[in-house]
Structure 1
Amino acid sequence: MVEFGEQLRRAREKTGLTQQTLAEKLYVTRQTVSHWECGDRYPDLLTTKRLSDILEVSLDDLLSGNEMDKVVERNPVVENRVANNVMIFFYAVIIFSLVSIIGREVLTTDWKYITGWAVRCNDVATVVRTVCEIVCGTLQVLIFTYGLVHSIKVTLSPKKIGAVIAAYYAIFFIESLVIAANDITMVQRNSASMVGTPNFVPYYFDCLLGIIGAVAAVLYFIRKNEKVIVPVMLVGVSVWKMIDAIKEFVEYVIYMAGRFNEANQFHDAIPYQGKLFIYRVAFGSVSVLLICGMIIYQVVTLHRKRKIASEITADATA
């Protein structure tokens, strides 16, 4: 079977069009048309339809079913230039927020005090939690930098997006697990002075969300699983995290507003560590909202592209 690039070249030459003329009709560069004919890249689905009309050939003649799949799976998920620029901006804000949180925590943490206190109280879990948060934050910076680079290069394909999202939720799972273990240890240590039974369900629930998000990202973006439940699970986890981030931020703002009203002076009402935590909550909430918002947008965009590809293939083979 003749591949797309060769078929495109033959159709173009048959109509007497040069690469430059065809490029002008499609509002792309001549190099782009050359890349298509060499098989290095594929046009997006809308451009493929326009090629079919300009060259007066059927989509079935230009693309086989397998090649239609390549158009979706090899091309960037977000091909619209404006939308891609917005994503680049969001990636940059996310990275800035994470770096700010990590840097502020590393520079302001009294490591001698924390390690000494942990040894005296036999509470190594607290040190492990602090280190885990810094390490996990650093890993997140790396994976979103990877996403930013490929967004700038316009090469953020479904597999690459899947890797970013799966890594993000895997890191979230690890961080949630360490935090849960630390908090549960502290609760159990102080259980003698506590009233009622501690509720550990939220800790386990966060861990479960991380597992579901990572698995769903792999299945949908990398394994191309088209069962409806898979993207629904991924969108559901992302929406839940967005709601939880907003809830945490609002609750902390209300709490600090109360402290402020009592003391009438921000510096007297909120100690230094409290201000640091406000900083973390604010930047953390912004990054979570942007990350989950992008995930939802990418899931919806890829679903539409795959649906259009399947419809075009069905029409071509009908």
Structure 2
Amino acid sequence: MRMSKRATTLLAVGLVGALAMAGCSKKGGGSGSSSESGGTQKQISVAFVPKLQGIPYFEAMNTGGQKAAKDLGINWIYKGSTTADPGAQTDIVKSLIQQKVDVLVVAPNDPDSMAPVLADAKAKGIHVMTSDTDAPNSVREVFVNQANTDGIGQALTDSLLEKMGGQGKYAIVSCGQTAANLNAWIDVQKKYTAEKYPKAQIVDTVYAGEDEAKAVSMAKDLMNAHPDLTGLVGECTSSAPGVAKAVREAGKVGKVFTVGLGTPQAMKPYLADGSSSAAILWNVENLGYLTAWAGKQLAEGKTLASDNQVSSDLSGVKYFSDKKELLLGDPLRITKDNVDQFNY
């Protein structure tokens, strides 16, 4: 039967409308993998703001985060300041809040000043975490801790005092004066030294920021101020090579012993010539991976178990619900014998 001109026009309009509705349905929901209902699902974004971008430690964390992003299908954002400045870090965090990332992770230079910024992020519907360094008085939902505080402080003390014969004077060259993790480790070292090594004494603690050259200078000043000093601790990944370099340049290898929280390849030349006895650390790439994984769990509203199977390299990762803390594991002692097991 032949349709009228009016009927033909109405049919055409109906077909166009149906196609338009189908197009709208297809576009809705953002980009990412398809959902079971046939639509699309927005990719989870996890943004990590380190204390300082460009140093081997946080670059290794970024490598781990990128690997996790590939494995887990999330968007990993790594953005930090080139100086360890709390104000600059705050500006970066605020910019990520404006971008409306799903999860915001910070290793705060100043935990107290970061707390209200994290509160603002949470108020805007963003999940907030800390990793590497905590902000315990903030609204953070999870802290990804690299190793037990007592374990790190005791490992630093033991590895140094073994070389010092269990006695003598040593000093600490730390980094940020307000860094919660560094200060917690120093507190453990003070208490543990007094209890286990009564013939040893910490004579001074100084702060070099995240500046290796400043750490070298401060370590030399400490050796000049205390001629009987026989030990130095570099409390972070820039001061660890700094104190070793100071001992090497002062010609005191074998007379002043050093240990520190240094990345393996940065410490390798100092471990080789004895200007550093050991580096105490953890698998930094795994820390980045765990951070990204934890961010995905938060974004998906999942509850962390007391033991978590994260990946083939990260099994049985402990979660302490009372502290909201996810613990990577035990600290590692890195020496000239095992340093090449790590490529960062």
TM-score, structure 1 as length reference: 0.24
Greater per-residue helix proportion: 1
TM-score, structure 2 as length reference: 0.23
Which structure carries more relative contact order (alpha carbon 8 Å, separation 6+)? 1
Greater per-residue strand proportion: 2
